[in-house]
Amino acid sequence: MLANQNLPGLGFLVNYAIYDGAVSLEALVEQVYALAPIDEKGDEEKYGENNERAAIFRSQYSSLIPSPRHGGSAFSLAVRALTTKAKRVVYDDPEDPVSNNKEKLRVQRNGEYGYTVQWEVTPLRRNKEYALTRVRRGYIDGQPRVQVVSDTLYRIRKAFPNSSFTRKWMRQYESHVWGEATHPSIENLRKCVIIEPMKAESLPNDGRFMRQAQERLRDAFVSASMCIDDDKMRKSVRGTITRLGGILPHASSGGVYFVYDENKTRLPVLNSLSTVIDAFAETANTHDRDAMWVDRAIPWWTAADAQALSEIPISAHYTSGMRSLTYGSSKKQIEDIQKMYISTMQSAQAKYYQLVRQMLQDGEIDEELLNTKKAEVVKTLEKAEKDLGAETVDLATERYEEVVTGLTSRFQDMWTPDERASQEEKKRIDARIDSLLCMRLS
């Protein structure tokens, strides 16, 4: 691999990593603009101060910067802010009239009365409604092992004015960030999610806790609706690289892709994408690492106020980054690239084979679906033939051709059960089968 991107090679080996964090879309756009190499742009120039340069920036980077979440997606991320793996020890005398320790739990076997407590979120209707459950653990006299007591006390639900509210809010917010609209009302967005007692019309178990939880939920929902989180950024980067034709090296699950670019036509987009990731690292992975849904070492409900909560340390982080290294400049590297393509093509063929086999087992063939999936496989083969030649495609399809005969026989048994069928009918069916199963490109 060569760090100099201008040296000859078949393409680029792209290696990226996106770590925990979140940054508002507005701050991310400002940071990308600050890092973007745009002619005549001053170091201190803000986005929007020069209309011509802002237009150039939008054309180059707007498709690489993802949109925030909205609706159920933002809601499901926000509820994670109410749960944590950390536990708190509570010493609670069961003889106290207002005790929560009616089971007489002890922190340790034969020790003081009390328990460890944490709050968990359970989906009732995913992306729509959740339950907030208090989980207590402790020892009971006569029992050698830890006992668990769960109390589902609160309901978390959406209260959107209508089904399109958050989508319209997000569009207006994006337009505001790009300089085309006013900022939508944050207070209206906050009111879209509520926490209430689990049992309708009942008093809350702890009114102060419920209010604190609701404020945190609303803060997290607003944050999720205005911020680009690490998962959103990760999916956006992966989508951009795959649209550029990136393929996974064999035995890789992600984070490393090979992009064929012998003429370096895709290099400007890769470098622009790297700028976006650098901007995310400068903000989301540094001073803005306090995404509310990131797990913390101390439970959020123990903080006395918002300022104290912001000072609670969170788990260790790394800094996001991306590198594009010239690859395919030696015989060994070219052989490795060929293995990547073969692995990708064989994986696509295997998925298609499994789909055909399942349909044959079920006794029902969906030709429209098969034609759609086959087109996806053929597209993969065509790309490999264009990049590396027909020989690579032949190597990748050898195993698949071995199983086509068996699949053809199964199709014939299903579609021509009557031995008296005319020869013309058999030829027509054989042509249909060949059309579905054959992966010939010419």
Residue 431's pLDDT is 86
Residue 90's pLDDT is 92
* Final residue in a domain of this structure, among 324, 357, 383: 324
Alpha helix stretches (DSSP H) within 67-122: 71-78
Residue 132 lies in a domain: yes
Rounded to whole angstroms, the maximal C-alpha distance in the chain is 90
Q: Which residues make Cβ contacts (< 8 Å) with residue 247, sequence separation at least 6?
A: 257, 258, 340, 341, 344
How large is the C-alpha radius of gyration of the chain?
29
Same domain, 117 and 201: yes
> Coil, strand or helix: which one is 95?
coil
Q: What is the C-alpha separation between 405 and 389, in angstroms, rounded?
A: 26
Same domain, 61 and 187: no
Residue 2 lies in a domain: no
Residue 337 lies in a domain: yes
Same domain, 193 and 104: yes
Number of domains in the chain: 3
Same domain, 76 and 218: yes
Same domain, 60 and 89: no
Residue 218's pLDDT is 95
Range of the domain at 278: 11-67+236-324
**With contact defined as beta carbons under 8 Å apart, do 91 and 112 qualify?**
yes
Our CA dihedral for 42, 45, 50, 54, rounded to 10 degrees, sits at 100
Q: What is the C-alpha separation between 292 and 80, in angstroms, rounded?
A: 8
Residue 299's pLDDT is 80
Residue 290's pLDDT is 57
Q: What is the C-alpha separation between 346 and 355, in angstroms, rounded?
A: 14
Residue 365 lies in a domain: yes
Q: How many CA atoms lie within 13 A of 46 on its CB side?
A: 7
From the number of C-beta atoms within 10 Å of its C-beta (0-12, 13-18, 19+), residue 358 rates as: exposed
Same domain, 49 and 98: no
Q: What is the C-alpha separation between 340 and 135, in angstroms, rounded?
A: 48
From the number of C-beta atoms within 10 Å of its C-beta (0-12, 13-18, 19+), residue 137 rates as: middle
Residue 191's pLDDT is 94
Residue 417's pLDDT is 64
φ, ψ (nearest 5 deg) of residue 84: -155, 150
The residue among 259, 227, 250 whose CA lies nearest residue 16 is: 259
Same domain, 131 and 193: yes
Same domain, 196 and 286: no
Same domain, 255 and 400: no
Q: Parallel, antiparallel, or unpaired for β 22-24 and 88-90?
A: unpaired
pLDDT per position in the chain (442 positions), as tens? 556 677 788 999 999 999 888 899 999 999 999 999 999 888 889 998 999 999 999 999 999 999 999 999 999 999 999 987 788 899 999 999 989 999 999 999 999 999 999 999 999 999 999 999 999 999 999 999 999 999 999 999 999 999 999 999 999 999 999 988 899 999 999 999 999 999 988 888 888 999 999 999 999 999 999 999 999 999 999 999 999 999 988 666 678 999 999 999 999 999 999 999 999 998 887 654 557 777 666 788 775 444 444 544 444 457 889 999 999 989 999 999 999 999 999 999 999 999 998 998 888 889 899 999 999 999 999 999 999 999 999 999 988 888 888 888 888 877 776 655 677 777 888 888 888 888 877 6
Q: Parallel, antiparallel, or unpaired for β 115-125 and 129-138?
A: antiparallel
